[in-house]
Amino acid sequence: MSQETVTFTLDGVKVKATKGQTIMEAADAAGIYIPRLCWHKDLPSGGNCRICTVMVNGRPAGSCLFPVEDGIVVENNTKQLKDHRCQVVEMHFIEGNHYCPSCEASGECELQALGYYTQMLTPTSPYLRPKYEVDASHPDVYIDRDRCILCGRCIRASEFLDGKCVFSFEGRGIHKRISVNAEHNLGETNMEASDRAATICPTGALMIKRTGYRIPVGKRRFDIHPIGWDIEKKKKSG
């Protein structure tokens, strides 16, 4: 069966896509980076973080979920959307307790990288300084909820890639937390360090023990190239 091709407009440029693709998938294929946090290539889209919001025919939509259609007009790289994304990144920083200078995830963290991408020099709103619990009960993996941005990647990875359902959300609104499928803590679950969920966290909220600070400063993932560089590279190299 041949795949139906559609054409839509992305920031004024005509982009060809396959029917059934999301706007983000089509943009990636065309070498246009749309910032994202909760999305991961091996997982079903979550639509939690709202960083990838674009304007579709003048209305906001999550590009990781919205399917391409023939003739739609999509805006991505506008001042309004850039400001929106910077605000969302700022809110993530003030709602958690992110100590970048001492964090093992620094340089590898996608939230931090999006801060650089959106040119956030510092969060300008007051910090909320919430009290969160660290769960270090597991011999090989720990949860530091200070760094959790509630993207749900670990939940989806555990369910769809590992077939385990180790994680879930609990609470609502500002009280929302990542929780584990056990009476007390992560150590009681069937989580293993080899699970995909253990390495899928975009920040340092879910980390494998005894692996931090191994890559020297200057050689980490986002030290040299900005996030999305690999996608934009496709366009530059044709």
Partner 1 sequence: MAKPLIATQHLTSCFGCHMSILDIDDRILKLAKMVDFDRSPINDIKEFTWPVDIGIIEGGVSNDEHVEILKDFRKNCKVLIGIGSCAVANSVPSMRNTVPLKECLEEAYLNGPTIVDGGIIPNDEDIPILLDKVYPLHEVVKIDYFLPGCPPSADTIWNALVALLTGKELEFPYELIKYD
Q: Is 115 in the site for partner 1 (CB under 8 A)?
A: yes
Q: Is 174 in the site for partner 1 (CB under 8 A)?
A: no
Q: Phi/psi at 222 (nearest 5 deg)?
A: -110, 15
The binder of partner 1 chosen from 122, 163, 219, 238 (CB under 8 A): 122
Interacting stretch for partner 1, rule CB under 8 A, among 24-32, 33-41, 111-119, 156-164? 111-119
* Least CB distance to partner 1 at residue 223 (A): 7
Subset of 127-146 contacting partner 1 (CB under 8 A): 127, 129-132, 146
Is residue 119 a contact residue for partner 1 (CB under 8 A)? yes
Give the residues across from 17 on adjacent strands. Answer: 6
Beta bridge partner(s), residue 56: 59, 74
124 contributes a contact to partner 1 by CB under 8 A: yes
DSSP-assigned states of every residue in 12-37: TEEEEEETT-BHHHHHHHTT-----S
Centre a 10 Å sphere on the Cβ of residue 77 and count the other Cβ atoms it contains. 13
Geometric angle at alpha carbon 169, from 185 and 186, rounded to 5°: 15
Q: Under a CB-based contact definition with an 8 Å cutoff, are residues 35 and 228 in contact?
A: yes
Residue 8 or residue 222: which is nearer to partner 1 going by CB? 222
Q: Does 126 sit near partner 1 (CB under 8 A)?
A: yes
Q: How far is the CB of 88 from partner 1 (least distance, A)?
A: 17
**Residue 79 binds to partner 1 (criterion: CB under 8 A):** no
